[in-house]
């Protein structure tokens, strides 16, 4: 069954903890795929305040940045859902690349953009 790709896809951890959820978003137009996994750790208010103060002053960072990050074990039955998202992402990226290439070619033919401008833009210049 193909999941609804306009909404985020939630993949629960194999351990069935509600705190270990992999969230995947797909932008169907551009093919961008965003994956998020963050562990929810609940602490008393005073501990969260202490963590906030440490965060502001740059202390207490994990080696992966801010927050409590961990891993999510993907269940075998969710592999097909992730494959559908990856396939859809690749198809959308190919469509977007073809659309952009056609637009660039149309601008080039119309003389609205020169090869030098295209080269500069491709290198990341403004």
Per the structure, the count of domains in the chain is 1
Rounded to whole angstroms, the Cα distance separating 90 from 67 reads 30
Per-residue tens of pLDDT for the chain, all 126 residues = 455 456 788 888 777 777 778 888 888 887 777 878 766 667 788 887 887 787 777 765 544 445 555 566 678 888 898 899 889 889 998 999 999 889 888 888 888 888 888 777 776 655
pLDDT value at position 35? 79
Evaluate whether residue 19 is within a structural domain. Answer: yes
Evaluate whether residue 32 is within a structural domain. Answer: yes
pLDDT value at position 40? 61
Domain encompassing residue 80: 9-122
The whole-angstrom distance between residue 21's C-alpha and the CA centroid of its chain comes to 15
Evaluate whether residue 1 is within a structural domain. Answer: no
The residues, any chain, with a CB within 8 Å of residue 50's CB and separated by 6 or more, are none
């Amino acid at each position: 069954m193909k999941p609804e790709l306009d909404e985020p896809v939630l993949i629960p951890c194999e351990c069935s903890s509600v705190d270990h959820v992999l969230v995947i978003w797909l932008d169907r137009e551009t093919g961008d795929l965003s994956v998020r996994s963050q562990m929810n750790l609940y602490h008393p208010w005073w501990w969260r305040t202490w963590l906030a103060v440490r965060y502001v002053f740059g202390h207490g960072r994990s080696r992966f940045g801010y927050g409590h990050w961990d891993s999510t074990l993907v269940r075998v039955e969710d592999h097909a859902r992730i494959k559908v998202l990856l396939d859809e992402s690749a198809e959308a990226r190919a469509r977007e690349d073809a659309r952009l290439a056609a637009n660039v070619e149309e601008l080039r033919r119309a003389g609205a953009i020169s090869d030098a401008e295209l080269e500069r833009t491709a290198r990341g210049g403004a």
